[in-house]
Structure 1
Amino acid sequence: MFDVQHWLVSLPPIAVYLLVAGVIGVESMGVPLPGEIVLVSSALLAATGVVEPEWVATAAATGAIIGDSVGYAVGRRGGRPLLARLGRRFPRHLGPAQLARAEQSFARYGVWAVFFGRFVALLRILAGPLAGALHVPYRRFLLANAAGGLVWAFGTTYLLFTVGRAAEHWLKDISWAGLVLAVLAGLASTWWLRRRAHRFEAAEPAADAADAEPVRVGDER
Structure 2
Amino acid sequence: MIPKVFSPMLDSMLAISHNPAWLVLVVIVSTFMLEDLAIIGAAMLAASGRMQPELAFVATCCGMFIGDSALYLMGRGALIWPWLTRKFQHDMIQRQVAPLQQAPWHQLALIRCMPGLRTFGYIACGLARVPGLTFTVANVSSIIAWAAGLFGVAYWLGSQYAEQMHEWLWWLLPIALVIFIVGQRKLRQNIASTA
TM-score by length of 2: 0.66
Q: Aligned pair 1:117/2:124, yes or no?
A: no
Identify the residue that residue 106 of structure 1 maps to in structure 2. Answer: 100
Quick check: 1:114–1:123 contact (8 Å CA) kept in 2?
A: no
> Structure 1 residues 68, 141: CA separation in 2 closer, same or farther (over 3 Å shift)?
same
Shift of 1:65: 2.1
Which structure 2 residues correspond to residues 78-93 of structure 1 after superposition, within 5 A?
78-79=78-79, 81=82, 82=84, 84-85=86-87
Partner residue in 2 for 1:56: 56
* Secondary structure at the counterpart of residue 49 of structure 2: coil
Alpha carbons of 1:116 and 1:14: their partners in 2 closer, same or farther (altered >3 Å)?
farther
**8 Å Cα contact 1:72-1:128 kept in structure 2:** yes
Q: Cα distance 1:167–1:108, how it changes in 2: closer, same or farther (>3 A)?
A: farther
From 147, 153, 159, the counterpart of 1:153: 147
Cα deviation for residue 41 of structure 1 reads 1.7
- Assess, with a 3 A threshold, how the Cα gap between structure 1 residues 174 and 59 changes in structure 2: closer, same or farther: closer
* Pairwise CA distance, 1:108: 7.1
Q: 1:96 aligns with which of 90, 103, 106?
A: 90
State the one-letter code of the partner of 1:145. N
Where do 5+ consecutive residues of structure 1 fail to align? 28-32, 88-94, 206-221
Task: Select the structure with the greater relative contact order (CA < 8 A; seq sep ≥ 6).
Answer: 2
Cα distance 1:202–1:67, how it changes in 2: closer, same or farther (>3 A)?
A: closer
Using the alignment, how far apart are the partners of 2:100 and 2:191 within structure 1? 11
Corresponding residue for residue 66 of structure 1:
66
Q: Is the 8 A contact 1:44 1:160 kept in 2?
A: yes
Q: Which has the larger radius of gyration?
A: 1
1:144 CA displacement: 0.9
Q: 2:35 corresponds to which letter in structure 1?
A: G
Contact 1:58 1:153 in 2 (8 A): no
* Equivalent residue runs for 1:66-215 within 5 Å: 66-79=66-79, 81=82, 82=84, 84-85=86-87, 96-103=90-97, 106=100, 110-168=104-162, 172=163, 176=167, 201=191, 205=195
Any conservation in 1 of the 2:45–2:51 contact (CA below 8 Å)?
yes
Q: For 1:70, what is the secondary structure of its paired residue?
A: helix
How far off its partner does 1:107 sit? 6.0
Equivalent of 1:21 in 21, 28, 32: 28
Given residue 126 of structure 1, which amino acid in structure 2 is its aligned partner? F
Task: Confirm or deny: 8 A CA contact 1:112 1:144 kept in the other structure.
Answer: no
